[in-house]
Amino acid sequence: MELLENNINLNSIRLNFNKIYELKFKDYGLYKKFFILLNSNELDILNYIELIYIAYKINCLEDISFKQFLSYIQKFSFIQIVNIYFNLYGIKEGNSFRKAFKVENIVKRVKIPKFQFEDVEDYFTYYCLILNISEETFWKVDLSFLLSISENKSRFDAYVNKMKSQVIEEKR
């Protein structure tokens, strides 16, 4: 508990898929819980704390139980906990790049099936093989950074597809 008692900065914790993948072999139960929580549409403050705890464990800062971690993090305010969570897992907001490519009223001609990412392999397939993000970027950058660039790419691709559709419509 020494590091926790020394008020380590939880905002300095970083996640990338390389570290998450290593967790699969160190603690498979925690690895599976990570993806269940990450895919949840309804997270509460306790889920935020659980995800922060998993990030803490992934970074091997200290081998503590969730109960010990919970007693430590109780001294943080609700706002501080939410900020730590979004530093780790949130897509950066206020992105002018993304806003520039906002496409209104996209006509959906092809329905993409809903799916959930269950493990690192699913994320790898999506980011590297479908979105063409480099493997080096996938494995090494912070998770929040990766989520932000994928959102930027998705917005840009939607914009390009919309412009192509308009050109085709004008030629008719």
> What integer pLDDT is reported at residue 91 of this predicted model?
65
Q: Cα 75 to the chain's mean position, in Å?
A: 25
> What integer pLDDT is reported at residue 64 of this predicted model?
85
What does the pLDDT look like over 41-52, one tens digit per residue?
888 999 999 999
* CA angle, 85 then 86 then 91, to 5°: 145
> What integer pLDDT is reported at residue 113 of this predicted model?
64
> What integer pLDDT is reported at residue 126 of this predicted model?
87
Buried b (16+ CB within 10 A) or exposed e, 67-100: eebeebbeeeeeeebeebbebbbebeeeeeebee
Average pLDDT in the chain:
81
47: which residues sit within 8 A by CB, 6+ positions away? 37, 40
SS3 of residue 63 by DSSP: coil
Please tell me which residue, 19 or 107, carries the higher pLDDT value.
Answer: 19
